[in-house]
């Protein structure tokens, strides 16, 4: 097990309402803007800040200890990934609520007050997020996301719609007790899709997943993990990001889809993945695309079948919603077809 050094905050609030948890990996300038936005919050309650440094190869740790002594810092000896980092921070959190915040995101000054007000109105408790704006252009990126039948996120831009299927982990608010009941992020996800898993589990259990109408946050999309952004007229991604994304979405589809509907949806999904992988490999004249991304997504179902069955039994055992209610935040137009029509095949960085 990796060694984790703990540097307590210089001063800690006695009873924080919110624990802001920030997973960090290299780039002091990134997290400085993030932390400054949290410290500038206009709110009438106590907030604690916990940062997990994931073995940054730069001077991030020294920078954080010197400039932000009011932050509780966990320093991992090895790079553990986003899921492990957040699970470690939540294990030390004392707030009633958690805000998982990316190190490349920055909150509007009224963000925590807006989220706390909305959370007090949720019954039962669920997940919340804020409208997301692009860091550079300031344009609205999404108000949470809907999902297509194959669990691809579809940005919600409707200012009147508050209920969504999922929110991205760059800014995810959840009650700590609910997080613990669901078991947090499955660590085998590594990174990518853990937010999808958590939001689907909440909705399956009858809880809301919502976006606020007010406030917001700025986000350097794709900066912390590479890819997932439009550059020029192309969607840019990477082999690792696509490998994890396709694998983890396939796993979530199997685990979360209620009733026997899971089987025809999964079968269709597998067929479409095979076709997509073949065509993209052919277009790029690179068999590595099919082997590392698409074949991996399918073979992982078999190799992890016991773990996936156990996870499905656990989540479906908490199911307190109807199938139609679960699918209310889904849209039935395949997201990948729309992206292909608009941007063509994605570019893949090594």
Beta-strand relationship, 18-24 and 47-53: parallel
Cα angle 326-267-336, degrees, rounded to a multiple of 5: 70
Residue in 170, 151, 166 with CA at minimum distance from that of residue 208: 166
Residue numbers of the chain with a pLDDT score lower than 50: none
DSSP state of 236: E
- Do 326 and 201 contact (CB within 8 A), yes or no? no
Domain ranges of the chain: 4-219, 229-349
Q: Locate 293 and state its tokens.
A: 């991304």
Looking at residue 278, what is its pLDDT?
Answer: 93
Give the per-residue pLDDT at 74.
Answer: 97
pLDDT for 230 equals 59
pLDDT of residue 350: 67
Q: At what angle do helices 262-284 and 239-256 cross, to 10 degrees?
A: 170
Reference 102, options 164, 180, 20, 189; nearest CA is: 20
Tell whether domain 4-219 is in CATH 1.10.3720.10: no
Annotate 274-292 with b (16+ C-beta within 10 A) or e (fewer). Answer: eebbeebbeeeeeeebbeb
pLDDT at residue 336 in the model: 85
Note the pLDDT of residue 228: 56
Q: pLDDT at position 173, please? A: 98
Residue range 99-140, pLDDT digits in tens:
999 999 999 999 999 999 999 999 999 999 999 999 999 999
Distance CA 24, CA 82 (A): 9
C-alpha 108/C-alpha 261 separation (Å) is: 41
């Amino acid at each position: 097990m990796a060694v984790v050094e703990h540097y307590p905050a210089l001063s800690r609030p006695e009873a924080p309402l919110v624990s802001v948890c920030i997973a960090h990996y290299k780039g002091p300038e990134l997290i400085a803007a993030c932390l400054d936005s949290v410290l500038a919050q206009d709110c009438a309650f106590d907030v604690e800040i916990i940062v997990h440094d994931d073995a940054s190869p730069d001077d991030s740790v020294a920078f954080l200890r010197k400039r932000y002594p009011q932050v509780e810092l966990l320093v991992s000896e090895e790079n553990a990934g986003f899921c492990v980092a957040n699970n470690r921070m939540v294990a030390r959190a004392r707030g009633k609520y958690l805000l998982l915040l990316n190190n490349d995101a920055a909150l509007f000054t009224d963000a925590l007050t807006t989220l706390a007000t909305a959370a007090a109105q949720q019954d039962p408790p669920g997940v919340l997020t804020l409208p997301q704006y692009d860091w550079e252009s300031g344009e609205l990126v999404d108000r949470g996301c809907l999902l297509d039948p194959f669990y691809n996120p579809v940005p919600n831009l409707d200012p009147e719609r508050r209920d969504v299927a999922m929110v991205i982990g760059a800014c995810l608010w959840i009650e700590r007790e609910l997080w613990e009941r669901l078991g947090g992020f499955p660590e085998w996800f590594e990174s990518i899709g853990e937010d999808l898993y958590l939001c689907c589990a909440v909705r399956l259990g009858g809880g809301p997943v919502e976006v606020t109408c007010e406030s917001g946050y700025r986000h350097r999309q794709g900066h912390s993990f590479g890819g997932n952004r439009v550059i020029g007229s192309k969607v840019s991604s990477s082999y690792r990001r696509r490998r994890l994304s396709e694998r983890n979405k396939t796993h979530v589809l199997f685990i979360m889809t209620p009733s026997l509907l899971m089987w025809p949806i999964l079968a269709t999904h597998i067929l479409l993945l095979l076709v997509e992988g073949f065509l993209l490999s052919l277009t790029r004249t690179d068999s590595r695309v099919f082997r590392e991304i698409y074949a991996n997504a399918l073979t992982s179902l078999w190799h992890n079948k016991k773990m996936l069955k156990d996870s499905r039994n656990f989540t479906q055992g908490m199911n307190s919603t109807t199938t139609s209610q679960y699918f209310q935040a889904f849209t039935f137009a395949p997201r990948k077809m729309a992206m292909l029509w608009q941007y063509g095949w994605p570019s893949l960085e090594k």
